[in-house]
């Protein structure tokens, strides 16, 4: 394992760019996984690792040492704690990073199963949490409109905690085109007139769930695709839920209904 101690080293500059620049990630075709849990999830999913990066403190942790031993043959470098903090994509460095290739976009196709549509979700934590929830609920396909955060950015990956590796992610999706002929319900959440209670809906069949940006909600174009609008009952003294929480409630109500069907 090579040790690097200078910020001027080309490897350090490259890692810093991957951590902090969407343009550089696209240009190089690679991104960073942050933390032992995420690296293990990638390995368990058979995702190839291109490079491993460990800090002084990281090398002292048994969990990270075990992962490095498991990854014999993967190029690895050792950074001082200060340098690792410099290239880390998060405020609290984990002690371990991995470089992976950005995936080839999945081929477009006619969808016949339940799926998730995310329209302009820009917060990395929310987006990653929703992707993890979708994977946990058994979803396979997620369509992301051009206004969404970069799905494979290090912060979204960190929040997703491995959910990415179970999903087919369609970024910059033309949702209107991809949902043409969709055989199931297309449901949006909202409070408008005519909205139906979530727990009154029959969700056992195929559903395309539409969730919008944290502040403005769904764009008019995406909202117009909905065949129905559902409202989540909230007896407490709040008006709305965070988009990640709303997605979790809806997806797992569908899971619940399918289990008792």
pLDDT in tens, 3-15: 999 999 999 999 9
Cα angle 6-12-18, degrees, rounded to a multiple of 5: 160
Asked whether residue 119 falls in the same domain as residue 229, the answer is yes
pLDDT value of position 240: 75
Q: Is-contact 185 228, C-beta < 8 A? A: yes
Is a pLDDT exceeding 90 seen at residue 154? yes
Q: Is-contact 99 39, C-beta < 8 A? A: no
- In the chain, the number of structural domains is 2
pLDDT in tens, 79-128: 999 999 999 998 888 999 999 999 999 998 899 999 999 999 999 999 99
Asked whether residue 67 falls in the same domain as residue 171, the answer is no
Asked whether residue 183 falls in the same domain as residue 76, the answer is no
**What DSSP line would sit under 149-175, residue for residue?**
PPTTSHHHHHHHTTGGGG-EEETT--H
Residue 109, in any domain of the structure: no
pLDDT in tens, 42-76: 999 999 999 999 999 999 999 999 999 999 899 99
Q: What is the CATH number of the domain that holds 236?
A: 3.40.1280.10
**Separation CA 180–CA 6 (nearest Å):** 54
Residue 173, in any domain of the structure: yes
Domain end marker among 53, 69, 101 = 101
Q: Is-contact 16 53, C-beta < 8 A? A: no
**Separation CA 35–CA 9 (nearest Å):** 23
Instruction: Find the mean pLDDT for residues 210-236.
Output: 91
Asked whether residue 172 falls in the same domain as residue 235, the answer is yes
Q: Is-contact 49 71, C-beta < 8 A? A: yes
Asked whether residue 61 falls in the same domain as residue 136, the answer is no
Instruction: For residue 149, give every residue at least 6 positions away whose Cβ sits within 8 Å of its Cβ, in sequence order, or none.
Output: 121, 122, 123, 124, 127, 156
pLDDT tier at 29, thresholds 50, 70, 90: very high
Is a pLDDT exceeding 90 seen at residue 258? yes
Instruction: For residue 58, give every residue at least 6 positions away whose Cβ sits within 8 Å of its Cβ, in sequence order, or none.
Output: 64, 84, 94, 95, 96
**Separation CA 172–CA 163 (nearest Å):** 19
pLDDT value of position 230: 95
Which residue segment(s) compose the domain that 200 sits in?
115-260
Q: Which residue has the higher pLDDT, 35 or 234?
A: 35
pLDDT value of position 106: 92
Q: Which residue has the higher pLDDT, 222 or 217?
A: 222
> DSSP label at 144?
E
Q: Mean pLDDT in the chain?
A: 94
pTM of the model: 0.94
pLDDT tier at 241, thresholds 50, 70, 90: confident
pLDDT value of position 20: 95
pLDDT value of position 199: 95
Q: Is-contact 135 4, C-beta < 8 A? A: no
Instruction: Find the mean pLDDT for residues 169-190.
Output: 95
pLDDT value of position 139: 96
pLDDT value of position 261: 65
30-34 vs 96-101, strand pairing mode: antiparallel
**Separation CA 223–CA 40 (nearest Å):** 38
Lay out the sheet containing 96-101: strands in order across. Answer: 2-4, 76-79, 51-55, 96-101, 30-34
pLDDT tier at 190, thresholds 50, 70, 90: confident
Residue 107, in any domain of the structure: no
């Amino acid at each position: 394992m090579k040790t690097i101690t200078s910020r001027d080293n080309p490897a350090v500059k490259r890692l810093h760019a991957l951590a902090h620049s969407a343009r550089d990630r696209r240009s190089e075709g690679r991104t960073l996984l942050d933390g032992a849990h995420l690296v293990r999830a990638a390995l368990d999913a058979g995702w190839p690792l291109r490079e491993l990066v460990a800090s002084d403190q990281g090398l002292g942790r048994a969990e990270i040492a075990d992962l490095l031993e498991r990854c014999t043959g993967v190029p690895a470098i050792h950074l001082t704690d200060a340098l690792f903090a410099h290239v880390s994509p998060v405020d609290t460095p984990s002690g371990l990073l991995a470089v992976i290739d950005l995936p080839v976009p999945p081929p477009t196709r006619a969808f016949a199963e339940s799926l998730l549509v995310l329209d302009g979700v820009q917060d990395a934590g929310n987006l990653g949490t929703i992707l993890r929830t979708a994977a946990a609920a058994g979803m396979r396909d997620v369509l992301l409109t051009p206004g969404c955060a970069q799905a494979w950015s290090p912060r979204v990956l960190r929040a997703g905690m491995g959910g990415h590796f179970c999903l087919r992610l369609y970024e910059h999706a033309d949702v209107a085109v991809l949902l043409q002929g969709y055989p199931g319900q297309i449901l949006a959440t909202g409070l408008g007139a005519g909205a139906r209670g979530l727990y009154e809906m029959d969700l056992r069949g195929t559903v395309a769930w539409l969730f919008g940006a944290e502040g403005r909600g769904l764009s008019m174009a995406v909202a117009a695709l909905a065949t129905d609008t559902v409202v989540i009952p909230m007896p407490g003294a709040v008006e709305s839920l965070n988009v990640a929480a709303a997605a979790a409630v809806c997806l797992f109500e569908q899971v619940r209904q399918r289990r008792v069907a």
